[in-house]
Amino acid sequence: MSIYSGEAQLYLRHAELLRGQIPSFRQYPFHLPAVRELRRLEFTHPVTFLVGENGTGKSTLLEGIAAAWGFNPEGGTLNYSFSTQATHSGLHEYLRLARGVRRPKDGFFLRAESFYNVATYIDQLDEEPFGPPLKNSYGGKSLHEQSHGESFFATFVHRFGGQGLYLLDEPEAALSPLRQMSLLVRMHELVESRSQFIIATHSPILLGYPGAQIYMLDGEAIRSVEYEETDHYAITKAFLNDRSGMLRELLGSE
């Protein structure tokens, strides 16, 4: 297994919070644990995961990094400029990104909660009589004419072209366990094609990607952990190893 490594090969090397410019750490989004404890987040591997409980701010942090890079906060490529509702935070204004020597040839910010808006924007652009349809880059079929999971996977397979920076927010939301395994295969193909991933996830399957960097956001700190140290792994393993015992404890049944 040949996974390229070395910080010099990465497109995004670190994200630093300009703490001295923060108006107040009691205000959103700076009161969120992921932001409150952030100083400098180093990216040293082709695949980096952000994990933590709901409400820790990992998706907000990923959104801030995406917007600071130049992506539309709702998702898509660097060229997508639509806005359906301005609900994103101003975190990107207080982040300094260190870019690598090499520039990516491709990029995409995929977030589960607003992917519908991205699909709608693509259909709207394809109504204009200029150039080939954008849907050709997504497999030749409107994303709205596919299931949520199919449209996600079509994006991974057809739109992600390699030598790119890909930021994914909970990509497992629409994917079955089998499709999550297929996503691991596609991720590996893209990593072998000089791509970098930063992913916020709850999936113990995706977290199993070999050699990945995992940052745990536990509400008090942001720390690097091994796969087996994540709650996602430990809780899933405990449940599968003793489903009956776990259910008895959870449901209070005999």
pLDDT of residue 77: 77
Architecture of the CATH domain 7-251? 3-Layer(aba) Sandwich (3.40)
How far is the CA of 234 from the CAs of 29, 227, 241, in angstroms? Answer: 29, 9, 10
Q: Which of 1-15, 139-153, 216-230 has maximum average pLDDT?
A: 216-230
Contact 49, 215 (CB under 8 A): yes
The single-letter code of the amino acid at 163 is Q
Contact 74, 117 (CB under 8 A): yes
Strands (E), the chain: 12-17, 40-42, 47-52, 95-99, 106-111, 164-169, 196-200, 213-217, 222-225
Domain spans in the chain, listed from the N-terminal domain onward:
7-251
pLDDT of residue 1: 46
Positive or negative: CA dihedral 164, 226, 32, 35? negative
Q: State the average pLDDT for the chain.
A: 84
Tens of pLDDT, residues 22-34: 999 999 999 988 8
The residue that leads in pLDDT, 152 or 83, is: 152
Q: State pTM to two decimals.
A: 0.86
pLDDT of residue 157: 83
The single-letter code of the amino acid at 98 is A
Structure tokens at 167: 């930021």
